[in-house]
Chains A and B, each alone.
Chain A
Amino acid sequence: MNDAAASVLEDPQRRARVRRRGGELGLLALLCLALTVAGPWVFDTYLLNILIKALFFAVAAVTVDLLWGYTGYLTFGQSAFFGVGAYTAGLAFTHLGFSPGIALLSLLATLAIAAAVAALAGWLSFYRGASPFFATVISLVLPILLTQLALSGGTFTGSSSGLTGFETFDLSLEAWYVIAALLLSAVALAAWVVVRSDGGRLLAALRDNESRCAYLGIDTAALRIVVLVACGMVAGVAGFGYAAFSGVVAPELAGFVFGTELIIWVALGGRGTIWGPVVGTLAINVAASYLSGSMPFVWQLILGVAFIVVILLLPRGLLPLLLAPLRRRAAAAPLPGLAARPARPAAAGGPALHMRGVAKHFGSLKVLEGIDLDAAGGELLGLIGPNGAGKSTLMRCISDGAERSAGTVRLGGRDIGRGGPERCVRLGLGRKFQNANVFETLTVAESLRLAGTLHQRPSWLRRSPLLALPDYALEVLRTTGLDHKLGAVARDLSHGEQQALELAMVLALAPRVVLLDEPTAGLTKTERTQIGRVLLGLARTHGLCCLLVEHDLDFVAEISTRVVVLHQGRIVMQGSFEEVVASSLVREIYAGTAQAAVPQPAPSPLAGA
């Protein structure tokens, strides 16, 4: 393993890319530093004033970009956290006086309160089955609630006029500028590093395909809450700084109008780019201050129209358009090298899959009834049956504890209970979907790296140089040629390649039980043979238990060790392929003249052809 790592690190192409990426980061840091230092010399007092406020706003905008541009959570509520920070500073300095000690304490209080509020908002917004739209509405309610709290606070909070005239840090304008610029630089650079790391790709995966993340064992709700808490705290600090600088705290700072302005700045600047929102916020605020003097309402109107136009025609914002030529020369992420991860020995403790009395009802409609099924490692079960027999429902009942209406499902001897897909995956399940269920904007290497999250937590700082996968996953990559396409984006792959990628991702989990939904759908003849070989190898050599739903009976004949026939929600027959095919009951089912199904849990004796 060390040799493999060493050889990857030595790879000249990889080293070149790492250098370029590092160079890019260095350049950005240098630019930030230059603007920070030069600012006080170059900008006049009026502009410095505007810029300092804009810089604090930009910090909040970066958090909005992380939440919206990267994880796909449209939030109007980051202003609430900004307001929390501002009011904590204002209240502390107004009612407790000012001293370095109080300043520090109130800063810590800001972090604590922002974190608590974010955790609550996260709990309300992110849970199994939550709709993204509902999360957005909650994010709108939060700032409204805080504004109302501020307005109803009487003289304590200053009501609609807010708090003014409290004593604060005695620093010159230039010093404030440097502080604000340093804060923004630190936050933006840190965000930039994070989004380009492996962990950052996890955020993009959340946005692209949250369901697939769940099926890779990732607790998506917890992840979203953690990201929200982190962003809430950062926005709180920005609000704290703003209040400390301006000496004025008003309810509008916590309101949803400000929250939507943040969205507008991020949208216009370019969502999902970190620097776009920074530039957008600064530019718009500076422009607004010069223009709104001469034409106040018209300026807002123009901004609104520009916003609509951007959403309609340029959803990615203006900055990406302007920087398009630079993008092409931007450094691509260094590709990791592939290495084998030693497979865990198959754990003892009961059959790989055990189902007893599993049923699923939709009101009075019985989709599945009395399902008893056992499967051991090394078996390849073919699940066949006419349309509407309940095959997909059966798969769902195995992979999601909340799905079934009755019965028990055990994976590797452990009950899945009512746990969601993440729990089933952690108990050793892998599920491959019929339509290639991958992450559209992630590369092959990034997708595979994420698939290994359960085994090795991704770094939030860098891209790991090594991609360690179980050898059967590597087999799939080699057989289909994906090992030479690690840098290709999933969306650009052919259908067959996407299917192979998804299979490799599922195998990267090193599961004990693999569910496959029509693995041969839409594949060419060669691809079909390839996947057949792969599946046989999985069962025979590596002892995985595979359950396939398939319509291609030739394929089932070739690779299955046992065939399970489902009809009208019940298992009517189990046996070898020859037994099943020769049975008259099965012939009748497929010819369509079968009456209501009679449950036959044991394989029926061979009936004459």
Chain B
Amino acid sequence: MPNTSLALEVEEVRSGYRASVVLERVSLSLADGEAVAMLGKNGMGKSTLLKTVMGYLPKRHGRVRVGGRDVTRLAPYGVARCGVAYAAQEQPLFQDLSVRDNLRLGLPRDRLFDERFEPVAALFPVFRARLRQYAGTLSGGEQKMLLVARALMAQPRLLLLDEITEGLQPSVIERLAGALRWERENRGTAMLVVEQNVAFAMQVADRYLVLKQGAIVDGGGTGDPGATARIFDHLKV
């Protein structure tokens, strides 16, 4: 689809918690359909970047644009309504609501449920029979899948994922990777994937960026031969 604006533009953003500054002056951009992996050691600012884009943290400097619209000053619900879906390990699901309720909260209107659920159910068939089950009783892997399913229900322009593969079995990780691939190919959704799991990140993304001490220090294509080695160098384990 011809589009003159980028899915995400982050310009010279500076933010942090209370007194401390975590992100120095970060700039990056994503075109529609692009998937970028955000890598780096813990505490380097990856989650902070996603929270800042989403509007949970105030920006002390810089701008953020989604699809050409300035979302710098918007509250999280404003950003979400510009077509951004955010799935984070820390704020996953409403444990005491059913699978169906969790899914429908990702939608602007209830009557879209049936049509939007179809493609998502094709990716995660386990939920077809489990709509009434409480989200808190699902297994860890199923909860993560529900997280992604909910985000996909919103048919976002931009998907922000924060360490969703943490603690998952390889089979589930495979399924998630497949779902994300389908989403990109069929809907052209842009993705910013924060991960500790380097293998997953490389599988899912075209490009990678490494964040260190709140600034982007490296980047490249995931297909580049030396990429993995360079990345592990940064992670230094």
Q: Which residues of A contact B (CB under 8 A)?
A: 386-388, 435-436, 494-495, 498, 518, 521-522, 551-554, 568, 581, 586-587, 590-593, 595
Contacts and interface: CB of A to CB of B under 8 A. Distances in A.
A386 B42 contact: yes
A552 B43 contact: yes
B20 A495 contact: yes
Contact of A553 (B18, B41, B165, B196): B41
B43 A518 contact: yes
Contact of B197 (A435, A436, A518, A593): A593
Given A522-B21, A568-B167, A387 B236 contact: no
Given A436-B19, A494-B19, A521-B20, 15 more contacts: A386-B42, A387-B166, A387-B196, A435-B17, A495-B19, A495-B21, A522-B19, A551-B41, A552-B43, A553-B237, A590-B235, A590-B237, A591-B198, A592-B166, A593-B197
B163 to A, nearest CB: 7
B165 A592 contact: yes
Contacts of A387: 42, 89, 163, 166, 196
Task: List the 5 closest A-B pairs by CB distance, nearest first.
Answer: A592-B197, A522-B20, A551-B43, A551-B42, A495-B19
A593 B196 contact: no
Instruction: Determine the main DSSP class of A at the interface with B.
Output: loop
B195 A592 contact: yes
A590 B17 CA distance: 26
Contacts of A495: 18-21
Interface string B219-230: 000000000000
A553 to B, nearest CB: 6
A522 B16 contact: yes
Contacts of A436: 19
B134 interface: no
Instruction: Determine the main DSSP class of B at the interface with A.
Output: loop
A592 B41 contact: no
B168 to A, nearest CB: 9
Nearest to A581: B237
B170 interface: yes
A591 B197 contact: yes
Contacts of B42: 386-387, 551
Nearest to A592: B197
8 contacts: A386-B42, A386-B196, A388-B89, A521-B20, A551-B41, A551-B42, A552-B43, A595-B169
A547 to B, nearest CB: 17
B113 interface: no
Interface in B60-92: 89
A494 B16 CA distance: 14
Interface in B1-54: 16-22, 41-44
A522 B232 CA distance: 23
B93 to A, nearest CB: 14
Contacts of A552: 41, 43
B48 to A, nearest CB: 11
Contacts of A586: 237
Contacts of B21: 495, 522
Contacts of B169: 595
Contacts of B235: 590-591
Contacts of B44: 551
B236 A554 contact: yes
B59 to A, nearest CB: 17
A551 B235 CA distance: 11
B129 interface: no
Contacts of B20: 495, 521-522
B167 A388 contact: yes
B124 interface: no
A522 B22 CA distance: 6
Contacts of A581: 237
A46 B117 CA distance: 79
Given A590-B196, A592-B200, A593-B199, A386 B17 contact: no
